[in-house]
Amino acid sequence: MAQDRERIISFVKKYLKDRPQPGPFIPGQTPVPVSGKVVSGLDMQYMIEAVLDGHWTEGRFAEEFEERLASFIRVRYCSIVNSGSSANLLALTALTSFRIPEDRRLKKGDEVITVAAGFPTTINPIIQNGLRPVFVDIEPGTYNASIDSIMEAVSSRTRAVFLAHTLGNPFEAQTLRTLCDELGLWLVEDNCDALGTKHRSVHTGAFGHLSTCSFYPAHHITMGEGGAVLTDDPLLHKIVRSLRDWGRDCSCATGADNACGKRFTQQHGDLPYGYDHKYVYSELGYNMKVTDMQAALGLAQLERLPTFIRRRRENFSFLHMFFRELYDSFILPEWSMHSQPSWFGYPLTIRDTAGFTRGELLKFLEQKKIGTRLLFAGNVTNQPYFKNYDFRWRSVGKAEGNRIVLPNTDIVMDRMFWIGVYPGLNIEMINYVTKSFKEFLASR
C-alpha cells in the first residue's frame, strides 16, 4: 500500500518534470500579469497526498499549516477559512459575540474606523454586522490612513479600527495598537495583501487583536481559495472557531468526538440534560472551513514563502530604481523607514500635470500585454452598492459645501493604478515593463 502511494507520487513528479515548460519570454507576446500563482512539484505532491489520505475535510495538513503560519507571524492561534473575505467577516463578527464583555462588545450602530480606498470585503463586514463604517482619507504615496486622521475620526460611538496594509505597505501599526488599547478600541488588521511585511521588526498580522490573510492566487501564497484569522487571544480564537464551524459550542476537531469527556453530561441552557455537545450551537455561525487538499497546497506554498517575499522585494526595487527618474509624471510609493514591506504590487499615481490620463496609459500597457490593476474599489462610497442599499456611514475629511470629501481617496479613484511584482515576473519582464513606460512617455 505504502509502495503504491510512493509510486503514485513519483509518477506525478515525473509528469510535472516532463510536461512542456513555458517558452522563453517574448516581449509583446508573452503576457506580463500583475499577479498569479507560482507552483512547484511540491504543491502537487502535497495535494495528491491529501487526496490519497482520503480525509478531505480539515486534517493533518490544515493542522500543520495553522501551526506553521501562526509561528511565522508569531501569534498563538490561527484558523484557516475558505477566503480572505470570510476571514474578515469572521474577525469582525467575533467582536459582536455574547462572549465578549458587554462594555467591549460591538453592537448595532457602533462605529468602526476604516478607509474607503481599498477592497470591498474589508468594509462590508462592518455593514453586514449592522455597524457603521467611518471613512478617513489616505495619504498619497503610502495609500494608508495617518494616525492623526484616525484619531480625528474617533467619536463616543467608536469601538474598533479595521484597516488593510495597502498593497503590502504597513500602516503605523504599533502606534495604532497602543492608542487603540489606551482608548479601549479593537484593532483588526486586514493582512491579506501583506503576508511577510514587517513593521518595527514585527510581522504585520501580529499587531491587531485579530488579523486576516487571503490565499487567493493573486496573494503571496495560495490555497486556490483560502484565508486565515489569527489572534493571540484564546477567547477570540474560541469565538472565531465556533463562528467558522456552524456556531457550534464544542471545540472537538472535525471527525473527533468527546475530547472533553463531557459530551453527554452537561446542561446547555434550555436543552434537555446531556444533549450531545456536538449539536449545541452558541454562536450565530457559518461554515467557512477548507478542505485538507487546500491546506496541503497552502503548506507547500508556505515552505517557499521566504523566497516569494524576497522576489517581490527584488522586483519592487528594480521598478523603484526606474520610476525614480519619472518623478515628474508619477507619485511614487512611500513607506516608513521602520517598515520592510512584502509588496503586493508597485503603486503609481499619475500627477495631474503629467499630460496624459490613466485611461490612455493603461490602454497602451494592455496593448503591450502588461497587466495593471486599480486600487480595488477606488473610493468605495462611489460604488453602485453604496447607492443600491440604504445603510449608515460617515466620512471624516475636508468640508466641501455641506459634503465631507476625501480628496486623496478621490485621486486614487481617478489617477492611481498598480503593476505586478509577483515572483512569476523575471528581470526580462521587468525590463520590458520599464521600456514600455519609456516608449509611452516618449510618444506624449
Ligand X SMILES: Cc1ncc(COP(=O)(O)O)c(C=O)c1O
User: Quick check: 97 and 88 in contact, CB under 8 A?
Assistant: no
Residue 102 CB, nearest approach to ligand X (Å): 30
Taking the C-alpha atoms of residue 380 and residue 133, their distance in angstroms, rounded to an integer, is 11
**Which residue from 193, 283, 292, 410 is in contact with ligand X, where contact means CB under 6 A?**
193
Can you read off the three cell numbers belonging to residue 350?
499619475
User: Any contact of residue 84 with ligand X (CB under 6 A)?
Assistant: yes
The β-bridge relationship of strands 186-190 and 210-214 is parallel
**Which residue from 79, 85, 242, 339 is in contact with ligand X, where contact means CB under 6 A?**
85
Give whichever of 378 and 436 is closer to ligand X, judged by the CB atom.
Answer: 378
The interface region with ligand X, picked from 3-11, 80-88, 172-180, 408-416 by CB under 6 A, is 80-88
Exposed/middle/buried for residue 81 (C-beta within 10 Å: 0-12, 13-18, 19+) = buried
How many Cβ atoms from other residues are within 10 Å of residue 121's Cβ? 22
Residue 431 CB, nearest approach to ligand X (Å): 27
Taking the C-alpha atoms of residue 114 and residue 109, their distance in angstroms, rounded to an integer, is 15
Residues facing 281 on adjacent strands: 248
Residue 224 CB, nearest approach to ligand X (Å): 10
The interface region with ligand X, picked from 79-87, 130-138, 155-163, 416-424 by CB under 6 A, is 79-87
User: Quick check: 135 and 115 in contact, CB under 8 A?
Assistant: yes
Give whichever of 227 and 285 is closer to ligand X, judged by the CB atom.
Answer: 227
The CA dihedral of 342, 343, 344, 347, to the nearest 10 degrees, is: 160
Taking the C-alpha atoms of residue 410 and residue 413, their distance in angstroms, rounded to an integer, is 5
User: Any contact of residue 93 with ligand X (CB under 6 A)?
Assistant: no
The β-bridge relationship of strands 111-115 and 132-136 is parallel
Taking the C-alpha atoms of residue 429 and residue 412, their distance in angstroms, rounded to an integer, is 26
Q: Which residue is nearest to ligand X (CB)?
A: 84
Pattern 216-255, binding to ligand X, x per CB under 6 A? x-x--------x----------------------------
First to last CA, the chain: 67
User: Any contact of residue 192 with ligand X (CB under 6 A)?
Assistant: yes
Residue 228 CB, nearest approach to ligand X (Å): 10
The CA dihedral of 298, 300, 302, 304, to the nearest 10 degrees, is: -140
Give whichever of 190 and 410 is closer to ligand X, judged by the CB atom.
Answer: 190
Show the beta-strand stretches assigned E in 243-397: 330-331, 339-340, 346-350, 394-396
The β-bridge relationship of strands 132-136 and 394-396 is parallel
Give whichever of 83 and 408 is closer to ligand X, judged by the CB atom.
Answer: 83
Residue 394 CB, nearest approach to ligand X (Å): 22
**Which residue from 114, 149, 214, 294 is in contact with ligand X, where contact means CB under 6 A?**
214
Place of cell 499577479: 35
Pattern 151-190, binding to ligand X, x per CB under 6 A? -------------x-------------------------x
- Given the residues 219, 220, 237, 277, the one annotated as active site: 219
How many residues contact ligand X, by CB under 6 A?
A: 16
The interface region with ligand X, picked from 70-78, 210-218, 229-237, 288-296 by CB under 6 A, is 210-218
Q: Is 219 a catalytic residue?
A: yes
Rule CB under 6 A: which residues touch ligand X? 83-85, 88, 118-119, 121-122, 164, 190, 192-193, 214, 216, 218, 227
Instruction: List residues with catalytic annotation.
Output: 219
